Structure 1
Amino acid sequence: MNAVVAAVGIMLILSLCRVHVVVALIVGALAGGLLGGLGIEGSLAAFNKGLGGGATVALSYALLGAFAVAIAKSGLAHALADKALAMVGKQDAKGAGLLKWLLIGLLLVVAISSQNILPIHIAFIPLLVPPLLYVLSKLQLDRRLIACVLTFGLITPYMFLPVGFGGIFLNDILLANVASAGVDTAGLDVTKAMTIPALGMLFGLVVALFSYRKKRTYDLSKIEQVERVDVAYNPLSLLVAGVAIVAAFVVQLWLDSMIIGALVGFIIFSVSGVVRWKEADGLFTEGMKMMAMIGFIMLAAAGFAEVMKATGEVKSLVDSSAALIGNNKALGALLMLLVGLLVTMGIGSSFSTVPIIAAIFVPLGMQLGFSPLAILSIVGTAGALGDAGSPASDSTLGPTAGLNVDGQHNHIWDSVVPTFLHYNLPLLVFGWAAAMVI
């Protein structure tokens, strides 16, 4: 069996069986490495090498967790809850429904903006989502829907709009790698190539709004304990919270560092007195613990990805698929998309997947007679496939980081499975259709 298929399969099966994702990633990586001929020492060496690639993001999340706890200490969560609940009567179903859609719309707009207008990617989630959990739970809004909304906003803009992270993905990665593999990309409209796949993401979002329309009950006492909604707040503490959040975002954009941005925000809370000096150490540790799981998953995912690359089995996977294809364009497009899904599910990043698959898919696409635009669409969609629905993707880890601060949102069953069903399956269909018609 192909090492990549085996590794990803083992990782997913263990994750679905509620084995911790970190354990599933390590076991899957070692199994893939052994099957790929690396041996136990080679597998461990590749895994350890990959750990360094995830260290920056893991530390970023740990510091963002500390910053999020400081925000909770300021009383911002309580203030937001009071303000939102005051907008509607607790028994006013019509007003509660309006507030529900306002909150969903707010999170969707912010998620989309995080990819282009204010390119901070997932950094906003630990800061914005936890303070809203009390209100969301009061409204009995299903968090699986929020996970789908956030994931849509994190993925669709970069795979369709050539600005911000989309400019990097579409122009610097997709177009550049397809061109270097032998396709003349001069004059090609990359947005046109990705329009139909992006419509697949939109279709998935609409279905998710229907799938998770029913109310879901959460334990408010757990949220009150974590988010400190009982803490007293005053205009000064709320002002400091606002300044700290703005400063964190500005510093991150200026220095391109989530680590320094979160650190600056936490320091502002400490200097202002909202977080007392004697409490700072405890709060910092508490926040890092809150995000520790996400950080360790990202570290393990980076190691897993490095083992998959070291086996060199991605090319053999494509070669074996090519043997099945013959001259069948429809089957060829489908198999290329499925291979992209498998690779991205394991690596967890479409940005890292495209350079790997482009060198193999482009010659195959040209051999099958696909147009340059169709090849762009296939490679771009194959790269994006698996970004949603992967246990190792920041597009699922980010939403979990914000929604699970009170322990009531399971990463696999509440983030990974819903986003896989609502985005990867439509993306397969719409991506195949795009390859066949453009």
Structure 2
Amino acid sequence: MSRLSWLLRETKSWVRSGIITADQADQITGLYPADNKNRLIPVLLLLGAILLGTGIILFFAANWQLIPKWGKISLVVVPLALFHLAALVTHANYPFLSRTLTLLGCIMFGSGIWLIAQIFHINAHFPNGMLFWLLGVLPVAVLLREELPLGLSALLLASWALAEHSSSPLIIFVAMMLFGGVFYLAYNLRSSFVLAVTLISAAIFANTEIYLILADNYRFNEAGSLIPFVLLLLGSAYVYMSKHPINEHIGDFPLIYKFLGVTLTGAALFIMSLEFFAHDFVKLRQSGAGYVLFWVLYIAVAFLGAYAISRRSTDIKEVLKENYAWLAVDALIFILLLIPLKEMTLMVGLNLFMFIWALLIIISAYQKQSSLFFILGMFAFNLYVLLEYFNFFWQSLPKSLFFIAGGIVLVLCGALMERQRRKAVLAWQKRGGTSFEEEL
């Protein structure tokens, strides 16, 4: 239910109860104009653009050998020009269609890079194609102030970093500068879509580069196992960014930061509870590979959190009340970096902590009447229960009994989750709150 729908329902109830008149109800609801955006149309157009772009690329690939050279060049240049020309013509009367055509033109530009390279048998460094595609799409996003090309730019940036597979300082510097530009444009356009895509791309980039630094520079073979630890740091950073003053008055930005932060943290704790992480993290402590790097990242996240929290309140009790789930995560990271725990102790501790964290998220969401994060917390808790069920009973139970009992556990978890959600929403409605209020 949207906030406007809730307000309309409540004002009708107030009129029936005699609290306000019908005219007063109209005046109140008139202060909050309806959102006339039809979100289905842009979603359908976006999906259509993706399918059409994919189909064009597959068609070229299937019939490439049968097309003469001049025809190949025409198939690259003509659709590219037509898509952008059609986007320009339809911009005034059909803005959604215009944006979709612009995105198709950007996709066509990328496919054209590889097609031209094939036509003229150009042997080049493969990731450069991603970079040239990015450098061609980014100016389109800047000049037209379009969010779809900008979101594509963020994805291309992450893809380029993955394709380069290099921990070179130059590559990292260029990527960080480009990410800075994309973030600036996302804030300039105030686009929630671009911010979400850019944050996901930034997480991919950060994990890729830290993995490569550990694997290449420190020769640490188990570097891939430490990705969840990086995700845990990123999750905390995103949540603290949701509290940063820069995001206070920009639409859904705080919600996007917090949602991604909670999701990354929950996923990280899930993976860290598995046996391989404890084994590889102990090896990291013993070898000292990247140990200073993780301390630097932790201190940076801690300073970000301290700054964001202090701008809201300096009262210790208030700070603890508002941020106990994330202060607990920070304490966990600090202990992992400071104290050399044994493998079994570490694994048991991480398994216990993931349940504690899920409970803290549920409690915090209940106190702040946030239905979204209440459901996320319940989902994480039930998922962790299922994980422990697999860990303990996969080897000890007969397979038939294992799956029967597992099905019962799933049904009970689902029923419990729905029951608790209904109870929470009912309690919030009785208190006059909205079940979809964002936790900020």
TM-score past 0.5 threshold: no
Q: State the TM-score, normalizing by the size of structure 1.
A: 0.23
Q: Which has the larger radius of gyration?
A: 2
Q: Relative contact order, CA 8 A, sep 6+: which one is greater?
A: 1
